[in-house]
Amino acid sequence: MALAHAPAPASAPASQQDHPRLALVARIGAAVLGGYGFAWGLVAAATSLLVAAGMGFHDAEFLASLVGVLAMLCAFLWAIAARRLWRVWAVLAGGGALLAGVGSLVQAVLG
Amino acid sequence: MHEPAGAMWLLAGAVACAFAGMAWLALSMPAHARQVWGGEPPPARLRLLRPAGAAGLAASLLLCLRVDHATIAVLVWLMALSAAAMAVAMLLATRPHWLRVAVPWLRGRAADGS
Amino acid sequence: MFTTFRQAMAWLHTWFGLVLGFVLMAAFFFGALSVFDREFDRWAIPATRIEPQPMPSYERVLRPAFERMQPTRAAVDAMRGQVDGPMPARFDTVAYWSAYTTHRDPVVALFAGYEVPNARHAGEQIYAEATVDPRDGRVLPDDRLKVGSGFFYPMHYGLTLDWKNLGIWIVGFSALVMLAALVSGVVMHRRLFREFFTFRPGKARLRSALDLHNLTGVVALPFHFFFALTGLLIFAATYYFPLGHTQLHELHDRAAAIEAQQTGLPHQRAGVAAGLADVDAMVAQARQRWEDKGKAGDVGFLVLMHVGDANGYVSVYRAGTDRIALVGDGIHFKASSGELIREDPPATAVARMAEFLTGLHLQHFRHWLLRWLYVLGGLAGAVCIATGFVFFVEKRKRQHAARGSQGARVVDALAVASVTGMALATLGILVANRLLPEDLAARGDWEQRAFWTTWVLALLHAAWRSAPVALGLPNPAWREQAWAISALAIAAAVLNWATTGDHLLRTLASGYWPVAGVDLALLAVSAIAGLVAHRLRLRSRVRAAQAHAAEPRHA
C-alpha cells in the first residue's frame, strides 16, 4: 500500500515531487477548504432554488443541508483521490463560487 | 404500543430470530462450518442454510413490527441484526461448538454426509 | 498523489482516521454514555432520585415556580454592558415561560426569557432556568452539575470547548472524517462479505486487531454511518452552513414574516395588558384533540408566550415517546381567553424526514431495548477506533524501533490516553461527585476539574510508561490503566452506597433502575477491566519467558 515511488508518473508535474510536504498540505487544503466552499455554494443554490419552487424556507434549509453534507463527503474523497490537484481546486473553488452566486441571484430575484 | 409483558416476549423473539438467522448465514460459509463441526457438511445442507438465514432475519423484522410503530421497529430490527452478528462472530471466535445448538438437525462429523 | 483509488482511500483512512480518531473516541464513548444521560444525573444528584412524573398542573405547580424565577446575578452582570441605564431589580416583562419534561425526567426543567428595558439592541432578552420537583413545585438546587445531561452530553457533541463553538466544529469535522473513513474502509476491505463474521483472537496481534476492527466496523456499519450523518444534520443549518443568518438572511426573514402571518401566532407583544385563562383547561383540551386524532399522548413541552399581554398565547406540544419524531403536534391557544388559535397541521414530507433523522439521533422515544442497542453500537464504534490505533502501532512499531523513530511510541501513548485514559477520567468525575462536600461552592466546577486532571494524569502515565514501544514492545500502561479502571469503578459504586445509602440491593428491590443501572454498569466495567488486565499480564509473562529463553547465555 505504498505511495507511488519515484520515478514520478509522467502525468504529475515536477513541482509536486520536488516539494512533497507542500503537495500534501495543498491536497488536504483542497479537500477541507475546497470541499467546504463547494458544499456552502451547493447549500446556497439548493436552498434558494427550493424556496423558488415553493418549498417552505426551513424545509428547504434542511434538505439543502443534507445535500451539502453528502456533497462535502464526496468532494473530500474526490479531492484526496484525484490525479491532478489543479482540477480539484478549479471544480471545488470555482464550482462553489458559481453555485453561491446562483443562490444570491435567486434570492435577489425572489425579493 | 402493546402492553409491556407481551411486547417483551415479542422483542425477545425478534432478537432470537435475528440470532438464529445470523448463525445460519454464518454456518452456510464453509470456513465457519469447519470451525463449528470440525469437518464440512455436504454442500446441499449448507445451501439450505442461506435462505433459512434470510428467513430468520425476515421473521425478526415481522416480530419487531408487531411491537412498535414502523419507524422504531425498523431501527430496532437493524440494531438487533448488528448485535446478533456480533454475538455470532464472538461465539465463532471463542466457543464455536456452542453454535451447534443453532443447527440441531446437523449432527456429528459431516464427512459421512448424515 | 496516488496511483489507484484504493491506495488513496487507504491513505485517507489511515491518516485522517488516526488524527481525528482521538476526537471520535470521545464522541462515540460519551455518545454511548449520553443514551443514559438522565440516569447519570440521578446518580450524581441524589436529591433528584424520584420517579418520573408527567407534566404537572400549571396552576398548582408551574405558575408559582415561574413567578418566583429571576435571572441569576451572573446573568444580570453579563447583561449590564448591553444596557443604557440602570438594571431593574426585577424583570417582569416575560417574553416566554416554558416547561419541558420527558418520560425519563423525574424533574421538570423550566425556562424563562425576559425583555431587557433600555437595551442597546432591540429585542434583547435575558434568561433564567430552574429545576422543580413536579409533585410540589419545590425548586431544586440548580447549581449541581448534571453529570449526564450537563457534562457527558455536551462533551459528546462539542468536547465542552465553547469558545466560538470551536468544539462543535472539531467534532463536526471528525464526523465528516468518520463518514470518509467508513467509505474508504469499505473500499479497502476486499473480503467484506466473506469475512463478515471473522474474528481470530488466537492469531498474531496485528491480524486479530485488524479482524476486530473490521468486525466492529462492518457489523454496525449502518449505525455508524447514520449516527455520523444525523449528528452532522442536527447542527448543519445552525452551525456548519448558517446561510439563513448570513448569505440568505433575506430569504429567511421574509419566510419568518410570512409564517407569523399564516399561523396567527403574534411575534411581538401588543403592549396591552391582559389576563391569563385556565391553562390546565387548555392542556386538557389539547390532550383531548390528540386523542381524537388517534395520537393520545403526554405533554412534553408547554410554552407561554408574551405573558401578561393581549398577544399572549399558550402552546402545548406532545412528547414523542412512542415514535422517532421529537415533540410535535403543537396546539396553540389565546392566553387571555383560552380559545383555540391553531392546531399545527400535519408536517410536510421534508419536515417529517427531518424529524425522523434528528429524532433517530436524539432518542426521546421510550424503548429500553433500542436504547441499550444504541449503547452497544456506540461501544462497537469505540472498539473500532481503539483497534484501529492498536493496528496502526502494531504495524509500525518494529520498523520504528529498527530505525530509532519515536512515532509509534507517541501514537501508542495517545491511544492509551484516549481509550483507558478517557474511561478513567469518566470514573474520576463520578468518584469526585461522591467525595466532594455537599455544600462546596462551585461544586460542579470542581467535579469537572477532577475529570480533566484525571485525564491529564492518565496521559502523563501513558507517556512515561511507553518507552518499550520505541523498542518494538507493548506499552505496560494499557494493563496498568485497566487495573486502575477496575479499582475506580468499584470505588464509585461503593461510594454511592456510602454517601447516599442507596446500595444495589436496595435500588434493585425498589426497582429504581436509574441508580441500579449505573451501579450495575460500574460493576460490569470493573469486572471486564480486571479480566482484560489479567489477560494482558499473562501475555506479558509469556512474552517475558520467551524472551528469557531466547536470550543467548552470558559468560
pLDDT of residue C555: 52
Higher local confidence (pLDDT), B89 or C74: B89
Nearest to C373 among B32, B69, B83 (CB): B83
Average pLDDT over chain B, rounded to an integer:
86
Q: Is B39 among the domain residues?
A: yes
Average pLDDT over residues C245-273: 87
pLDDT of residue A62: 96
The 10s digit of each residue's pLDDT in C116-137 is 888 888 778 889 988 888 888 8
pLDDT band at A1 (very low <50, low <70, confident <90, very high): very low
Cβ separation B82–C219 shorter than 8 A = yes
User: Residues of chain C with pLDDT > 90: what percent?
Assistant: 62
Chain C partners of A65 at a C-beta cutoff of 8 Å? 233, 236-237, 240-241
Q: Is B108 among the domain residues?
A: no
Please provide the size of chain B in residues.
114
pLDDT band at A7 (very low <50, low <70, confident <90, very high): very low
Cβ separation C201–B93 shorter than 8 A = yes
C393, C408 Cβ separation under 8 angstroms: yes
The 10s digit of each residue's pLDDT in B26-85 is 999 988 988 888 877 777 877 889 999 999 999 999 999 999 888 889 999 999 999 999
CA distance B82 to chain C (A): 5
Higher local confidence (pLDDT), A29 or A9: A29
Gyration radius from chain B CA atoms: 15
> Is residue C409's pLDDT more than 80?
yes
Peptide bond between residue A7 and the one before it cis (omega within 30 degrees of 0) = yes
Nearest to B88 among C197, C201, C360 (CB): C197
Q: How far is CA C107 from CA B75, C40, C101, C443, in A?
A: 29, 14, 7, 20
> Is residue B105's pLDDT more than 80?
no
Gyration radius from chain C CA atoms: 27
pLDDT band at B108 (very low <50, low <70, confident <90, very high): low
pTM for the predicted model, two decimal places:
0.89
Highest mean pLDDT among C339-348, C356-365, C387-396: C387-396
End-to-end, the C-alpha distance of chain C in Å comes to: 54
Of C228, C177, C240, which Cα lies nearest the Cα of A65? Answer: C240
Integer Cα distance of A29 and C327 in angstroms: 41
pLDDT band at C347 (very low <50, low <70, confident <90, very high): confident
pLDDT of residue B48: 87
pLDDT band at A17 (very low <50, low <70, confident <90, very high): low
> Is residue A9's pLDDT more than 80?
no
Interface of A with C in 46-105 (CB under 8 A): 47-48, 51, 55-66, 68-70, 72-73, 76-77, 80-81, 85, 100, 103-104
CA distance A65 to chain C (A): 6
Integer Cα distance of C186 and C218 in angstroms: 8
Average pLDDT over residues A13-27: 76
pLDDT of residue C297: 86
Residue type for C470, please? A
Write C244-250 long-range contacts (CB < 8 A, 24+).
Answer: C244/A57, C244/A61, C247/A44, C247/A100, C247/A103, C247/A104, C247/A107, C248/A44, C248/A47, C248/A48, C248/A103, C248/A104, C248/A107, C250/A107, C250/A111
Q: Is B112 among the domain residues?
A: no
Cβ separation B29–C376 shorter than 8 A = no
Chains interfacing with B (3 or more CB pairs < 8 Å) = C
The 10s digit of each residue's pLDDT in C187-219 is 999 888 889 999 998 888 899 999 999 999 999
pLDDT of residue C87: 84
> Is residue A111's pLDDT more than 90?
no
C524 touches chain A (CB under 8 A): no
Q: Is B106 among the domain residues?
A: no
Cβ separation C233–A81 shorter than 8 A = no
pLDDT of residue B5: 67
> Is residue C45's pLDDT more than 60?
yes
Residue A86 in grid coordinates = 489543479
Integer Cα distance of C27 and C422 in angstroms: 11
Chains interfacing with A (3 or more CB pairs < 8 Å) = C
Average pLDDT over residues C176-196: 93
Q: How far is CA C339 from CA C98, C149, C277, C286, C298, in A?
A: 19, 37, 9, 11, 21
C236 touches chain A (CB under 8 A): yes
Q: Is B110 among the domain residues?
A: no
Q: Which of A76-80, C8-12, C161-165, C411-415 has the lowest mean pLDDT?
A: C161-165
Integer Cα distance of B108 and B61 in angstroms: 32
> Is residue B110's pLDDT more than 50?
no
Helix (H) or strand (E) run with residue C128 in it: strand C125-132
pLDDT band at C22 (very low <50, low <70, confident <90, very high): very high
Question: What is the total count of domains within chain B?
Answer: 1
For residue B94, the enclosing domain spans 4-98
Provide the β-strand partners of residue C316: C302, C331
Q: Return the ∠ at Cα C455 (arms to C450 and C456), rounded to 5°.
A: 100
pLDDT of residue B6: 86
pLDDT of residue A16: 54
pLDDT of residue C203: 84
Average pLDDT over chain C, rounded to an integer:
91
Q: Is B114 among the domain residues?
A: no
Integer Cα distance of C495 and C499 in angstroms: 6
Most A CBs within 10 Å, among C5, C187, C247, to test the A interface: C247
Strand ranges of the sheet holding C299-305, from the earlier edge strand across to the other edge: C139-140, C125-132, C108-115, C94-100, C299-305, C313-318, C328-334, C340-343
